[in-house]
Amino acid sequence: MQPFSEHPHSGWKALGRGSWKGLLMAASILHCWMPPRSAQGTPVSIVPRPPYGTVGSNVTLTIEGFSERALSYNWYRKTTENSNRIVSYSTLTGVQKPTDIRERVQPRGFLFIPHLTLGDDDLYVVQIVDSRGVIAAIVRGKLPVYEKLAKPNITVSSTNVGENDSLELTCSTENKGVNILWLSNNQPLALNDKMHMTHDNQTLTIMSVKRTDAGSYQCEAGNPVSTNRSDSQILTVNYGPDHIEILPSPENGEIKVQFNTSLTLECRALSYPSVHYEWQDINGSVHSGSTFMVNPTSWEQKKYTCWARNNMTNSSISKDITIHVVEVKFSEVARNRKILFGMAPILVLISVLIFKWTESIRSCSMSSNARDRLSQIRSCPGQRKSPSSCSYYGTKWI
């Protein structure tokens, strides 16, 4: 018979001296890895109720999956060494030992822990002994305990920076084991390539700050039972001036203006804080402000320059415009007069026609009245009465 280590089909490598110790160690590891099961084969587990402990509150470590009759329950922390034992409970007597402790074992073996502290956050082990006095299961379960979080504090290396500067924000909290979330303008901060975070998220670095980074910043500390948000820090980003323009938009840098006609020019530039505008010509400053009115009274072509200066960034930008005075062949008034003069003969003709038509109507009206009076006189022969004394009823005179 071949030795075990030399068996050609064993599938095991030679373990040499102490091979059985190695097998026992492997079996122990497999036992720890495999979840404990009841006699019926169902997994047995420790389930905290509620699932997370909160400092100052209560929790019950329940045992799920074990439906057999138990003789006793032994609760431990970390390992089943006697020095780590918390309490033992006998189902026959309903008594736990020791009794002068905070923890209480319930009839089904559940462990009730009141007034939790952060020190109760630990690995708990329950040893279940069945009615035959045999250890039926050894179950392990983690109890996480969290505290309600205090308000975190946010600090900024500078709240007033120039565009392309660097910036560092730090979130400090007196609590441990918390998750840090950064917010910008009350929304979760979307990280980009120029933003870097430390592994615990407590420090945020923004390289090459842009004007779009301006706004409100906060950090929020959170754990499974509590969240708290810091006060806001307002970040101001100074930039510009840039993208300068003059309105109305000149064509090839030139605007045509009619002689002795006013024109208002407006200068605009992107900047924060707002820039100071100044208009200059060849002789120097002519106006301060974003708008400037020109009123050419000579035929001389003039060049004006708008300067935009940001005193915070110590930057300035300018744009030129040339005013070209043009001659007007017909002003609006002259054009209107020409139209009126052209229509004058037509208006005279219309007036004459209206007058003649009115006279014709009046003449016809007078002739009709005279005929009526003559007819009345003839209708009363031999009488020297006025026509008004004759009456006519139907077709008979009386």
Sign of the dihedral defined by the CA atoms of residues 271, 273, 274, 280, in that order: negative
pLDDT number for residue 36: 67
pLDDT number for residue 22: 41
Domains 34-146 and 153-231 share a fold: yes
Q: What is the pLDDT along the chain (398 residues), one digit of tens a residue?
A: 333 333 333 332 333 333 333 433 433 333 343 456 555 567 999 999 999 999 999 999 999 999 999 999 999 999 999 999 999 999 999 999 999 999 999 999 999 999 999 999 999 999 999 999 999 999 999 999 999 999 999 999 999 999 999 999 999 999 988 999 999 999 999 999 999 999 999 999 999 999 999 999 999 999 999 999 999 999 999 999 999 999 998 888 899 888 888 899 999 999 999 999 999 998 888 899 999 998 887 777 889 999 999 999 999 999 999 998 888 665 554 555 555 556 667 777 777 777 677 777 666 555 555 555 545 545 545 444 444 444 433 433 33
Query: Is residue 395 within 8 Å of residue 379, measured between CB atoms?
Result: no
What the block records as the tokens of 134 is 């045999």
pLDDT number for residue 6: 33
Cis omega before residue 98 (within 30°)?
yes
Query: Is residue 261 within 8 Å of residue 325, measured between CB atoms?
Result: no
What the block records as the tokens of 77 is 């922390």
Domain map (residue ranges) of the chain: 34-146, 153-231, 239-326
pLDDT number for residue 136: 95
Contacts of 228 (CB under 8 A, 6+ apart): 149, 150, 151, 152, 220, 221, 222
Q: Which long-range contacts (CB under 8 A, 24 or more apart) does 115-118 make?
A: 115/56, 115/57, 115/58, 116/53, 116/54, 116/55, 116/56, 116/57, 116/58, 116/59, 116/145, 117/55, 117/145, 118/55, 118/145, 118/147
pLDDT number for residue 153: 98
* Strand, coil or helix: 217: strand
pLDDT number for residue 19: 37
Give the Å distances, CA to CA, from 35 to 130, 144, 277. 18, 20, 77
CATH class (in words) of the domain with range 34-146: mainly beta
Given CATH 3.40.710.10, say whether it is the number of domain 153-231. no
Cis omega before residue 43 (within 30°)?
no
CATH class (in words) of the domain with range 239-326: mainly beta
Distance CA(105)–CA(58), nearest Å, equals 14
What counts of helices (H) and strands (E) characterise the chain?
2, 30
